[in-house]
Structure 1
Amino acid sequence: PTQFELRQKNAQFASAVKAGKKAAKPSRQEQLSKRSPVSLWALGAVLFVVVGG
């Protein structure tokens, strides 16, 4: 796609979002906020054991 086409798509997307439509794909930030914190705890525990706490 050309630069012009990309700008057009971005403008369409921005106007749709302003109109209140939901984005087709949730943003990265939204996906991370929905993820459970269990994996983070597991990673922390493994690091604690490996480092020698």
Structure 2
Amino acid sequence: DHIPEVMQDKLDMIRDPDEYKRKMLDQIYGRTRRVLTSPAAVLTPKNKPKR
């Protein structure tokens, strides 16, 4: 029972939209995430300290 990848994506999107979004963002920004983290940390200092 092989589900085409496009259909699987749609199922994932319906079943767990947040997880789907995170996966897509990982694919898009995965390589540059480390670069983007620094400016993001500066822009949103409130979310940073969780120790």
| TM-score normalised by structure 1 residue count | 0.30
Structure having the higher Rg:
1
- The structure where helix makes up a greater share of residues is 2
| TM-score normalised by structure 2 residue count | 0.30
